[in-house]
Each structure stands twice: as structure tokens, then as C-alpha cells.
Chains A and B, each alone.
Chain A
């Protein structure tokens, strides 16, 4: 087959439009394009498609999403690498997957001493834009938040990090949508089982409605030991849930890191509530 009759592949044409063909190949193609209306049409369509794609998926938005994915990929890789190193150092050691109660207690004191304690009545005030009042009277600016209420008879009691929960407890989760547009709420128990609360299905983070919203289903705690950690991850950009879930599962394997929250890119925000199981 001569060059003049050879099929012009999509990649060849892409490279032509990108200006990345070697000079001799470009010159040959230039000659063909002058007399080949089909090739001319394909090039026109490529250029129109370029414009359309960049209009639909802006470089700014794709930049953030690619950076988020890159960050998650790097963190996962680091965690896996650390796990491999640990396995090499202690080949016969038993791998710890649960967080000891003592570590949890320390976490509770050190990390969550300023977690706001809310009543259901005061949630509306926060939702309306009011500041969040912490236990020690400090007012902090409100942003996306997660609230967990224990159903008790006809009433509810808010649970916060460090509170004790039991098998069979019925929990109502609520979130405050403020600041970020997309969110994902899930929990991990002491066995490492992950439960998705919002959204329960689908692969993408759900849009967060402004204000306080109760999730449609209550959550009953099972007999998993030691703890149940609730995560609320939010961002202004859409993100994939599987990547965050995988990261959380791997993170849970690192008992010395559990208290630090997930290592997410700064375009994410996260809230954690850790309940002790008894």
C-alpha cells in the first residue's frame, strides 16, 4: 500500500493537529489533506471537538480533580510501601489492625477537645449562618459538619467523639452543608468494615444541600468491638467515593495514624467522630 492510500489513523491525525509530527510525515500529510475532503472534515471535527471538550470540562476543574486523584494515589502508595516495609521488618509479627483503647483515649483528649457540642435545637441557628459554640465557650466559624444523635425513647442525645455507644444503639446522622459542595459520609468499625451512609449507593460524592439535613435512614450499631469512626469528607469538586473508601481502609491498618485523620489533599475537608464501643 502506498503512502497516498494508507489509512490515516486517529493518532496520526491527532499528532498532526497537535503539531507533533516529524517534518517529513507532516509534509506528506499536508499534500494528502489538500485533495482529500474526508481528511479535511476529520481535522475540522477534531478542532471543534477540542473546543467543545475544553468548554465542557474546564482546565481549572480538571486540574483540581487530577491533583486530588494524584494525591490519593500517592498516599495509597506510601501506605502500601510502609506496610510492605513493616512486613519485612517483622515477618512473623502479628499485624495490628485495631486501635488500642489507650490510643483512642489519647486521641479523644488531644484532638477533639474543641469539637462543638450541639443540641438539635441549636442546629437551626448554625444552619442559618450562626457561629458554632464549643464547650469552653469559644465561638468558631461554622463550616460543613457532622452530627450524630442517639435515639433514646422519644428523644435524642448528641454523641460526640469519646462518647460510649453500644450494640443495638440507633443513631441518626445529620450534616450541616456549608462551604463545600460535595460530600461523603461513611463509618469504619473496629473490625474494619466500612458502611456508607451518604450516599448509600453510586460512585460519586453527593451534592450537599445548604443547611442541616438528616440522613434518610437511621444506623444501628452492630457488635463490632472497640470503636466506630464516622467520617465526613467534603470538597468543592466532585470526587470518587471508592478512592476515599480505599484510603480509609488502608489508613485503618496503620494503628499509629488512625487518630490523625485521612491524609487528604488540601482541597478536601474532613470531620471525624469516634465513638467508643462497649
Chain B
């Protein structure tokens, strides 16, 4: 499905930017992340099905921001919520497939990363059912992933989720 970038930006750009602002707390980085989100969408546009892409863009933006937070977390000027930082730095048990193209999962309907699931649930306040709907995982699958993450993050960093 070919994407009209300008039309997509006009429609979804503000939503994506708000998402990135919320995650990154920095206007310039949020704008960069917003653009990167569209780049990632465009790189897979031929795999995009003719459906409303707001949920997909929201998750790509979340992933993009988590990666930015993770890569910058060792730098002293970084100031993000402890919860976001803990989630961003979470090493997933499924890291062997995490290292593979994250977009392939987003577009291919494969498993969503636990980090994104955690942000949707803990920070956005989505219910397990809502997370399930947006990620395509079963409710019990979401619950299990979150339980593992909660245990791991608490043990390592002492942050309560």
C-alpha cells in the first residue's frame, strides 16, 4: 500500500509527536523520533494493509522512543521517568528474536516486545484487554509477560511497577 507522506503526516503527525513528547520529555528529540517513526512506516509500506494505522504508528513511536531512551540512558543529561527507564533497559528473555527486525513483528502480526507492552499498560493505563487488542497477544500472554518483567525490573533496579 503506497503512502502519501504529507497526507499521513497531516493526519497522524500530531498524534505521533505527542506520543514522543510524552516519552522523551524533549521537544527536539521528540520531533526526530516522530520523523523516524514515519521513516520506519515507509520502509514497510508495501506490507501495510489497508486499515487504520493509528495503533501501529503509536506502537512504532513507542518502540522508537524506548530505543532512544535506552541508548541515551548512560548519558548524564538524560532525564526520564524511572519507570520508563527501567522498562527501556529491560533485557527481554526473548532477546534472540528481539534482535531481529522489530518492525517485522509489528507488521507481520508476530509477538510484540514486552517493553512496548509494559509502556502501554503501566504508563498509558491500558487494561490487559486493551493491550491485548492493540498487540494481538492473548490476555494471558500479556499478563505473563508483564509478570516476568515486573519481577525482573524489581530485582534489578528496585523500581516498582
**Chain A residues close to B by CB (< 8 Å):** 1, 6-7, 9-12, 14-15, 18, 20, 49-50, 53-54, 57, 59-60, 62-63, 65-67, 69-70, 73-74, 240
Contacts and interface: CB of A to CB of B under 8 A. Distances in A.
A203 B86 CA distance: 26
B13 A65 contact: no
A66 B5 contact: yes
Contacts, number: 75
A59 to B, nearest CB: 5
Contact of A66 (B10, B19, B39): B39
Given A50-B14, A54-B14, A69 B55 contact: no
Question: SS class of chain B's interface: helix, strand, loop or mixed?
Answer: helix
A59 B54 contact: no
Interface residues of B, number: 32
B92 interface: no
6 contacts: A6-B127, A7-B125, A11-B126, A12-B130, A60-B6, A73-B43
Contacts of A240: 32
Interface string B8-45: 01111111011100100000000110011011001100
Interface of A is mostly: helix
Given A18-B15, A18-B54, A59 B10 contact: yes
A53 B14 contact: yes
Contacts of B120: 11
Contacts of A53: 13-14, 17-18
Q: Rank and list the top 3 A-B pairs by shortest CB-CB distance, nearest first.
A: A20-B52, A53-B14, A50-B14
